[in-house]
Amino acid sequence: MREMSPTRRVVSPGRLVAALLSALVVLYAAALRVEALTMTYGPVERPAWLRSLQTDVRSNVRPLRPTGFVWEAEDLYPHRDGPPTRYISDPYTYLGFARQMQSFYAAHYREPLFVASTRVWLWLLDGQDLAVSFASMTFSIAAVVIAIALGWYAFSPWVGVGAGALMAIEYELILWGVRGWRDEAFLAIVPLWALAMVRAARAPTMASGAALGAAGGLALLVRITSLSFVVPGLAYLILAGTKTWRDRARAAAAAGLVAAIIAGPYFFNCWREFGDPLYAITHHTAYYERTETGPAPASSVSGFVTSAALARPFGTIDTVAMGLTAYPFANKWKGFDAWLPGLGAALSWAALAGLLAFAGSPTGRLLLVVLATSLVPFSLTWRLLPDWRFTEHTYPFFLLAACAAAGQAVAAARWIRRRSAEGRGLRPTVAVWAVVGVALGAAWWAGTRVLPVLAAEEALALGDGVAIEAGRRDHSFFGSGWSAPARQGAITMRTSDGFPSTIWLPLRRPGDFDLRLRVDPFPPPAASGATGSTLLVFANGRPIGRVALVWDPERVGWYELRLPREATRAGFNRIELALEAGVSPVASGGDDSPPAFRLWYLLVRPAPPN
């Protein structure tokens, strides 16, 4: 028997098992999405083999997933320009654009890659509307494959398998994955860019640069806003790589050239047709400005951003800070609870630990750069249109961080033990992480305590309304006399637990303001419409109103008051809420709890001039 060459690479059994599991994960992800598509939009009419496949998958995958997965069939929606369909909004327009598409690079306000993918599926399905769902499903499955590859290459095969498996089973990812939105293409393309970035950073060659450019070009053809991470990514490759500067620059140049070849014709045609190579961005910027300020459209992206930043600097900083951090992170994780209650919360904590650990390695820092820069466009607009799908592309990074956290913890323990055994000590490392911890703590304090106050004060000074809500960032507004924030159904509320309960209202100058209290008696009265306690409202020690709290189990109470100028002052104003002495609600169920109330929010608006 011929002996194996010593230079021949041997694949370990562990990697073979990981590869097998990866294939099973992808198959399972595809089966779940096929079932969701079939139950939501129905089976295809033709070809017969695909219809039969959908029927088989639907019947066979049901025992293999939680009963909490509910797929509701979409209704038929009427359209002025065609027969009723199960699609509305962007998916419906994608179908129309795909049927009209004459050239891949034709000038249009919709970037062409997802539209062209829908056109391919229209051809495969003989013109059926389900093509747009199959297009998004294809990208959703591809995102699972790419997440596995990114985790495998950047960390280890098991991190890749874990992240891919979590993406495969997450309910929201499955549900959105068949609805026909281009966000699934973005979900796949951003981690593909990250994978190419990691490869180019580790081995900056012309080939790895060309692969990076291909990923960047495709990203730009999904969303032109991909410039937010493509351009910084190339700069990062040049400035922060580990190889020689010449190698890094050559790889970055190759990436830029290939990206320009792939995406350049679309930019050029938009410039020739509309006079603006970034027409797709400008078109949607006008929509966001109309949403915020009225009918006058923005002249450019820079004009929209600059005007917002100049008019509301603190509000803009607060919006961007939340859009880059808390908002895209906090709106995830619920899709795991159908599998195991609390699983999403556990994964979120693991992801936080993993993201923090990313800062300690070159690969991790690169992924953080891609994650942060990919969020920049959405961080400016998320308050205007807080749609879950716009930050969907961050999920692979969070899940990779969660899966990498365990391995990083083990590696850190081994490193500490080795350093201690060598007698080298840990003081320099501890000092570095102490500085990082202090910086993160200061950023957290500014984001949760300082910026909300400055933004609220600024908005009121400009004539806007401000809602002081119970929730994560309410500590600077809610003083003494309150319990901790707690969820009640779909909203968060605080319960009074002292006398009085204080809310701090920041004002730049005195003025007349209209107040709207959303508050309920607690414990609730026994019957709907029953009157509970009487609530007294004071401003800086002066009484400004009293309201009888009425219980309505269908909605939180709504009470309007006027805060007069003479009761206000510049700076923090103390709004105090207290139950009238000697008045107790009629509690339901024989509850002997002391009378209290629950508050959802206090809405403050400058009063209109008389």
CB contact at 8 A, 338 and 66: yes
Q: Specify whether the CB–CB gap between 207 and 162 falls below 8 A.
A: no
Distance CA 548, CA 580 (A): 10
Residues 222, 185 contacting (CB under 8 angstroms): yes
Does pLDDT of 529 surpass 80? Answer: no
* CA distances to 93, 95, 143, 381 from 110, in Å: 10, 12, 21, 18
pLDDT at 425: 53
User: pLDDT class for 383, splitting at 50, 70, 90?
Assistant: confident
Q: How far is CA 562 from the centre of its chain?
A: 37
pLDDT of the residue at 20: 96
Q: In this predicted structure, what is the pLDDT of residue 430?
A: 61
Q: At what angle do helices 343-358 and 362-379 cross, to 10 degrees?
A: 110
Give the distance, in angstroms, between the CA of residue 575 and the centroid of all CA atoms in the same chain: 34
Q: What is the DSSP letter of 535?
A: E
Residue 227 pLDDT > 80, yes or no?
Answer: yes
Statement: residue 583 has pLDDT above 50: no
Bridge partners (DSSP) of residue 523 are: none
Contact 129, 44 (CB under 8 A): no
Q: What is the mean pLDDT of the chain?
A: 88
What is the DSSP secondary structure assignment for residue 356, as one 8-state letter? H
pLDDT for the residue 424: 53
Instruction: Please name the residues in contact with 411: beta carbons below 8 A apart, sequence gap of 6 or more.
Output: none
pLDDT at 427 (0 to 100) = 54
The pLDDT of residue 411 is above 80: no
Regarding beta strands 596-606 and 513-522, do their DSSP bridges make them parallel or antiparallel, or are they unpaired? antiparallel
Structure tokens at 159: 């991190």
Q: Mean pLDDT over residues 227-249, rounded? A: 90
> Residue 456, SS3?
helix
CA distance 52 to 510: 70
- What phi and psi, each to the nearest 5 degrees, are found at residue 502? -110, 140
561 beta partners = 515
At 2, is the pLDDT very low, low, confident or very high (cuts 50, 70, 90)?
very low
Cα separation, 534 vs 557, whole angstroms: 13
pLDDT in tens, 95-141: 999 999 999 999 999 999 999 999 999 999 999 999 999 999 999 99
Q: CB–CB of 173/395 below 8 Å? A: yes
Measured between its terminal Cα atoms, the distance across the chain in Å is 100
Contact 284, 277 (CB under 8 A): no
Please state the φ and ψ torsions of residue 215, each to the nearest 5 degrees.
-65, -40
- Percent of the chain whose pLDDT exceeds 90: 71
DSSP state letters, 83-127 = EEES--HHHHHHHHHHHH---TT---SS-HHHHHHHHHHHHHTTT
Q: Is the pLDDT of residue 423 over 80?
A: no
φ, ψ for residue 87, nearest 5 deg? -120, 140
Q: Pairing mode, if any, of strands 571-579 and 77-79?
A: unpaired
Phi, psi for residue 520 in degrees, rounded to 5:
-130, 150
What does the alpha-carbon distance between residue 268 and residue 242 come to, in Å, rounded to a whole number? 35
Average pLDDT over residues 382-391: 89
Residue 72 reports pLDDT greater than 60: yes
User: What percent of the chain has pLDDT above 70?
Assistant: 87
Q: Please count the other Cβ atoms lying within 10 Å of the Cβ belonging to residue 590.
A: 7
pLDDT at 266: 97
Whether 530 shows a pLDDT value over 70: the answer reads no
On the question of pLDDT at 579 being above 80, the answer is yes
Task: State the Cα–Cα distance between residues 460 and 173, nearest whole angstrom.
Answer: 38
Q: What is the secondary structure of 156-201 as a DSSP string? A: -HHHHHHHHHHHHH-HHHHHHTTTT-THHHHHHHHHHHHHHHHHHH
3-state secondary structure of 598: strand
pLDDT of residue 82: 86
Angle among Cα 315, 517, 311 to the nearest 5 degrees reads 15
In angstroms, rounded to a whole number, what is the distance separating the alpha carbons of residues 247 and 241?
Answer: 9
- Contacts (Cβ under 8 Å, ≥6 apart) of 404: 151, 155, 159, 354, 357, 358, 364
Is the Cβ–Cβ distance between 316 and 304 less than 8 Å?
no
Which has more confidence, 242 or 61?
61
Report the alpha-carbon distance of residue 161 to residue 158 in Å, rounded. Answer: 5
Q: Can you give the pLDDT at residue 443? A: 80
Please give the backbone phi and psi of residue 545, each rounded to the nearest 5 degrees, phi first.
170, 160
pLDDT at residue number 587: 41
Three-state secondary-structure class, residue 45? coil
pLDDT of 240 reads 83
pLDDT at 406 over 80: no
Do 334 and 344 meet the contact criterion of CB atoms below 8 Å apart? yes
Give the pLDDT confidence score for residue 524 in this predicted structure.
84
Q: Which two tokens stand for residue 494?
A: 């605080």
Alpha carbon dihedral 433, 435, 441, 442, in 10-degree steps, equals -160
Mean pLDDT of 152-157: 95
Q: Cα separations (Å) of 379 from 187, 368, 373, 531?
A: 17, 15, 10, 44
466-606: CATH number:
2.60.120.260
Domain ranges across the chain: 74-405, 408-461, 466-606
**In the chain, what's the furthest Cα-to-Cα distance?**
100
Average pLDDT on 177-205 reads 97
| pLDDT average, residue stretch 130-156 | 97
* 242-251 mean pLDDT: 88
Which of 209-218, 227-236, 365-374, 480-489 bottoms out in mean pLDDT, i.e. has the lowest? 480-489
Burial 151-168 (b: 16+ CB within 10 A, else e): bbbbbbbbbbbbbbbbbb
Alpha-carbon distance 142 to 186, whole Å? 11
> No. of H helices and E strands in the chain?
20, 12
What is the structure's pLDDT at 449?
87
What's the pLDDT tens digit per position in 451-481?
999 999 999 999 999 999 998 889 999 999 9
Looking at residue 12, its pLDDT comes to: 81
**Gyration radius (Cα) of the chain, Å:** 28
pLDDT, tens only, 263-319: 999 999 999 999 999 998 887 666 555 555 555 544 556 566 677 777 789 988 999
pTM of the model: 0.87
For 602, the 3-state DSSP assignment is strand
- State pLDDT tens for residues 433-443: 677 677 778 88
